[in-house]
Amino acid sequence: MILGRAIEKLPDEPAGDASWPQPVSLWRYSAALVFVAAVIANACSYADIDLWGHVYFGAAMIRAGRIITNDPYNYSVPNHLWLHHEWLTEVMMAAIYQHCGIIGLKLWHFSVTAFAIAMLSMAEGETGAPPPIQFGVLAAAALTLSAVMQFRPQIFTYALFAMLIFLLTRDLYGRRSHLWLVIPMLALWSNLHGGFFIGLVTLGIYTAAIGVDDLLTGRGLKRAWRLAALTLAATAATFVNPIGIECWRTVFVSLTDPLAHKVMADWRPIVTVIRDSGVHGSDNLLLEVWAAYMGAGAISIAVTPRRDDWPLIAIAAVMAAAAFSAIRNIPLPIIAGAPLLARHLDLTFRKLAARKGDLANSAAQETSGVFQRMSIAGQSLIFIASFAVLFGREGLWSAKLAAVGEYPSGAVSFMKEHNLHGNILNPSQWGQYLIWHLAPESKIFYDSRFDTVYPQKVLIQYLDFFFEPPSGARLLNEYPHNFVLVITNSPTYKMMLEQRAWKPLYRDSVCALFAPAASRAAEMPGLPVIGKARKTFFP
């Protein structure tokens, strides 16, 4: 009862403070520009290594009518506990694919991406920055997000985090924000993806910053206590899911397992990425745009500091630190910093104009209505061009979804053609592709669910075999392997060629398949078969 009253009385005040910016809607100026940003954010979507698994696991849960909590797809730790924190997203993806195919998946992906961009645009609008500045910041954010807005449950974390930043920005500037929405939002978020804890951390930072500011200005802690009550209620809401406290266990394991971080490329620190690949080139466009975006934000805030912005600055700073610790977190400071960058670029330009004596002229232009709305003709042209890009070759209406990277399609076809089934010792990045095509008759040794299924012992054995040959060869005698699938011309491939107890069955430029020399598969004539790798599409 007390908690409910506290939430209802969260302050919308004090409205009308002249020091606070008045909202300027980019939607009103030109909805077409918001659509352009959504198209940009959608531009680099592709099938990644986990898409096969997400759709397959979701379909399995639909058939079973329940969440699968023990993994049936591996033989290294059969029926091991599965911390299935992404269950709702996977069920959603499977249902969409079953009823609407690849086009349905693409439309779902674009819808979530567009929602994230819409929330960022609305957050920027609360700052009062002119629409051209808002669009510039939004386009830069969309370009960076395009590299990470993929067919994965993480897409919901980015979208809901953008919504949270909009609610907090609106609340900070004294307007009705309906912050109570964070309670059902966190309940939903905890069923969609383990990144829900980012929302709680953000609420905690905002509450602490508001509390410190109110104390320093003599307003007391009344508002901070109400925000704290809201944060506690949102935390409690995360337990409203079928796996209960296990969703928090997933978060803990993901954040504290250094071995998993060693294997998962997107957990690498930014410094490591730059050291390994350099700072230039198209592969690092994400880092370059991110660096320019964050640099512009830091400089503009330093040039035009505002005390009332510091709760948002604190959130963006923590998210920036998270991005330095793991490259997968780069979208977080981009999203958190969007309203700050829009506001302080505006303030910086105003300051520069004032020094040149042009402030009165600039203000006159704004009040004359030049930023009220783009012409219908201009918006129509932008919409037409954007739709042409969105629905063009292999766009939303295409039933093709290309995969980035190389996959063992040749070895899978070979196994199907010769009716070969069994336990496959495999590189982790191919695990869920193999599950899609060969389960349940065949099981895998390992896949990319490092932190939700496999214990550290199995991860260490996996790393030894694929990254520390020939010492890792002992793994061949520790499990009942029926096949070994390796990357062609890798050190592990060369090690397998030296194993007399194993015979090569198939090879192409991507993968090589081996079987025990004493097995039925090894008795087939014409071995090894030399195949030809081809481009992979989902499924």
pLDDT in tens, 155-173: 999 999 999 999 999 999 8
If one counts every other C-beta atom within 10 angstroms of the C-beta of residue 474, the result is 11
Q: Are residues 364 and 457 in the same domain?
A: no
Residue at a domain's end among 361, 390, 419: 390
Q: Are residues 285 and 378 in the same domain?
A: yes
Q: In angstroms, rounded to a whole number, what is the distance separating the alpha carbons of residues 309 and 301?
A: 9
Q: Are residues 381 and 461 in the same domain?
A: no
- The two structure tokens encoding residue 246: 């296990």
Give the burial string for 432-455 (b: 16+ CB within 10 Å, else e).
bbbbbbbbeebbbbbbbbbbbbbe
254 domain-assigned: yes
Q: Are residues 507 and 384 in the same domain?
A: no
Q: Name residues of the chain where pLDDT drops below 50.
A: 1-18, 279-283, 360, 363-370
**Longest CA pairwise span in the chain (Å):** 88
Q: Are residues 383 and 451 in the same domain?
A: no
- The two structure tokens encoding residue 2: 């007390």
CB 76 within 8 A of CB 446: yes
233 domain-assigned: yes
For the chain, the domain total comes to 2
66 domain-assigned: no
Q: Are residues 326 and 442 in the same domain?
A: no
Q: In angstroms, rounded to a whole number, what is the distance separating the alpha carbons of residues 334 and 145?
A: 8
Structural domain harbouring 511: 409-538
pLDDT for residue 282: 45
Q: Are residues 384 and 415 in the same domain?
A: no
- Vertex 525, ends 523 and 531: CA angle to 5°? 110
Q: What's the half-sphere exposure (Cβ side, CA atoms, 13 Å) at 219?
A: 13
398 domain-assigned: no
Q: Are residues 255 and 322 in the same domain?
A: yes
Q: Are residues 285 and 416 in the same domain?
A: no
Cα–chain-centroid distance for residue 52? 17
pTM of the model as a whole: 0.89
Q: In angstroms, rounded to a whole number, what is the distance separating the alpha carbons of residues 67 and 78?
A: 17
pLDDT for residue 259: 66
CB 164 within 8 A of CB 195: no
402 domain-assigned: no
Q: Are residues 431 and 360 in the same domain?
A: no
- pLDDT (tens digit per residue) in 500-537: 999 999 999 999 999 999 999 999 998 999 998 888 89
Q: Are residues 308 and 445 in the same domain?
A: no
Residue at a domain's end among 390, 424, 459: 390
pLDDT for residue 12: 38
Q: Are residues 439 and 348 in the same domain?
A: no
121 domain-assigned: yes
Give the burial string for 491-506 (b: 16+ CB within 10 Å, else e).
ebbebbeebeebbbbb
77 domain-assigned: no
- pLDDT (tens digit per residue) in 356-380: 765 545 544 444 344 677 788 888 8
pLDDT for residue 107: 95
pLDDT for residue 376: 86
Tell me the C-alpha to C-alpha distance, in Å, between residue 519 and each of 12, 147, 181, 487: 72, 44, 60, 22
pLDDT for residue 2: 40
Residue at a domain's end among 390, 422, 447: 390
3-state DSSP call for residue 74? strand
Tell me the C-alpha to C-alpha distance, in Å, between residue 348 and each of 121, 299, 361, 363: 20, 9, 16, 14
pLDDT for residue 264: 67
59 domain-assigned: no
Q: What is the CA radius of gyration of the chain?
A: 26
